Amino acid sequence: MRKEASSTQTLVSFSVRSLKRAVGFTIAWWIISEGDPRSWLFGVPFVVLATTASLLLTPERAWRLHPIGTLRFAIYFLHQSVVGGVDVAMRAIRPSMPLEPDIVRYRMRLAPQHARVLFANTVSMLPGTLSAGIDGAHVTIHALDKTLPLLESFIELEERVAHMFGEKLPKETQALGSCELTGGEG
């Protein structure tokens, strides 16, 4: 009985994923073809092949985005992108602004790989930072000014990414992300 229920759930899940992707590719084809009905001679095979390929090549997601967390992250991202762009522009046109570059290693509290990758990619929009790589739970970041409040910025970003994916981060003080200045060494 339990095996039948599991098989049914798997079939329903696969059907829903297939339908969502087919609808997405159908809409994409309709936009690309500007709604020309004659294009469906090529569009139908495209939708079938694209749906099949996407199901074979991309695994089922084991994570979900939380709408409120995603909205908050989007607003934060837009704000920080503007702040980061202005900061870099000001440093470029005002040589008197401080510039103390360094390489920083930050230990992330995020567990899932997809959340870590988003964190590392998003770090680059924070003022004066550029992600240079991920190694396990550590991300290497180039900072234009090591005197900026880097640890606080990284912790806030990490909390926003966690909330977006509905992940609970460790609360203990020793478990907070940590920064290590490397003196320019990678």
How do residues 95-146 score in pLDDT, each as one tens digit? 887 788 899 999 999 988 889 999 999 998 888 899 999 998 899 999 888 8
pLDDT beyond 90 at 160: yes
| Residue 78: band (very low, low, confident or very high) from pLDDT cuts 50, 70, 90 | very high
Classify residue 143 by burial, with Cβ atoms within 10 Å: 0-12, 13-18, 19+. Answer: buried
Strand partners, 100: 145
Torsion angles phi and psi, residue 141, rounded to 5: -130, 135
* pLDDT attached to residue 16: 81
CATH number 3.30.70 given to 67-181: yes
Can you tell me the distance from the alpha carbon of 164 to that of 64, in angstroms, rounded to the nearest whole number? 9
Chain mean pLDDT for the chain? 83
- Higher-confidence position of 10 and 113: 113
Query: Do residues 184 and 102 touch, judged by C-beta distance below 8 A?
Result: yes
Which residues contact residue 68 at a Cβ distance below 8 angstroms, ignoring those fewer than 6 apart? 163
Query: Mean per-residue pLDDT for 175-180?
Result: 55
Q: Which pLDDT score is estimated for 174?
A: 40
| Residue 14 parent element (H or E) | helix 2-32
CB within 8 Å of 142: residues ≥ 6 apart: 101, 102, 103, 104, 129, 130, 131, 132
d(CA 160, CA 115): 10
What's the pTM value of the predicted model, to 2 decimals?
Answer: 0.63
pLDDT exceeds 50 at position 28 = yes
pLDDT of residue 79: 93
